[in-house]
Amino acid sequence: RPRVLSGIQPTAGSFHLGNYLGAVRNWVALQETHDAFYMVVDLHAITVPQDPAELRANTRLAAAQLLAAGLDPEHCTLFVQSHVPEHAQLAWVMNCLTGFGEASRMTQFKDKSAKQGADRTTVGLFTYPVLQVADILLYQADAVPVGEDQRQHVELTRDLAERFNGRYDKGGTATFTVPKPYIVRETAKIYDLQDPTVKMSKSASSPKGLVNLLDEPKTSAKKFRSAVTDTDTVIRFDEAAKPGVSNLLTIYATLTGTAIPALEERYEGKGYGALKTDLAEAFVEWVTPFRERTQAYLDDPETLDAVLASGADKARTVAAETLATVYERMGFVPAK
Ligand code: TYM
């Protein structure tokens, strides 16, 4: 089976609809066809300040949401990044292979650090993409299921894998699998409901544009009903001319498993109001059991922690083998 690996940050508490449609939903599908490794990336979270109690709660909450979304510990390996020390160890090695200029070109870093200002930006945030490189390479992943905003980090991973392979391979066996991004075009970028030209994200300028899965469903329904569209009335998928309507169609189509042309047909001659009301309803129908399942996992922390412990065991076996090869090839004296 080909292998996939991906991760999600625990920082925001609730996942938002972009996380789910752009990534987590695909993780659930891929666990059936791939050898799948998924993790909650707490080491990545601390690149910005975290309250310890909140970080601990949000890490478990993230795992609970992943299980509620359909990850099955019998079909995938679900773990917490800090439980596998090899991530930090390989990240150091990769830091030493990464050019300063190369890291400086990472657009997510440039955006985030520009917002925070130099004094509040940590060195950890700067090397964050290199930790992500280590995450992926440790598992020899063939593919990395993510949204569009992570593409550049997967490209960096490919570059560093090839660099290491080129420098350190002996006898032609590559140390690392060179991974490909796995990005589903239709849902690669879910947009803000109030500003459909920017991606939905937890740092949205208006909370009305961001749909959090764990919010009261009534609150989210209202956000769908007041989503920004345009002054036209025609319901047609056209991302350039009608970004708001197209975003709503993408969300509706994906949540209900309907093709977009079928939706265009269904809403012919009807106004935006009908589409928004129906989408709000479909979302509430989907999210209500999701919230209940999340709560059920939270109510049983022993089971949740046991799932994560067994995931960490499985992950470590793979990660330790890769790291041992890397150390040996770099010329470190083996610890007897
Ligand atoms: P994070 O936690 O910001 O987001 C988790 C996943 O959600 C996707 N996503 C979106 N997809 C579509 N539309 C949106 N509006 C949207 N917003 C977020 C992201 O692309 C991502 O797939 N650096 C990563 C976490 C990470 C990782 C890894 C991923 C750490 N190590 C190794 C893959 C492999 C991040 O911050 O994702």
Ligand 1: distance of its center to the CA of 269 in Å? Answer: 37
pLDDT at 168 over 90: yes
The secondary structure of 194-234 as a DSSP string is S-TTSB--TT-SSGGG--BTTS-HHHHHHHHHT----S---
Ligand 1: distance of its center to the CA of 325 in Å? Answer: 28
Report ipTM for this prediction.
0.99
Element at 36 (helix H, strand E): strand 35-40
Q: What is the pLDDT of residue 325?
A: 96
Q: Does residue 147 line the site of ligand 1, with CB under 6 A? A: yes
pLDDT at 156 over 90: yes
pLDDT at 172 over 80: no
Report yes or no: 7 and 135 within 8 Å, Cβ to Cβ.
Answer: yes
| 61-115 pLDDT, tens digit each | 999 999 999 999 999 999 999 999 999 999 999 999 999 999 999 999 999 999 9
For residue 325, give the nearest of 163, 93, 144, 160 by alpha carbon: 93
What angle do the packed helices 107-116 and 123-138 form, to 10 degrees? 150
Nearest CA to ligand 1 atom 4: 8
Rounded to an integer, the average pLDDT of 308-319 is 98
Q: How confident is residue 171, by pLDDT bands cut at 50, 70 and 90?
A: confident
The ligand 1 atom at the shortest distance from the C-alpha of residue 187 is: 12
Element at 5 (helix H, strand E): strand 3-8
Rounded to an integer, the average pLDDT of 236-264 is 97
Q: How confident is residue 222, by pLDDT bands cut at 50, 70 and 90?
A: very high
Q: What is the pLDDT of residue 118?
A: 85
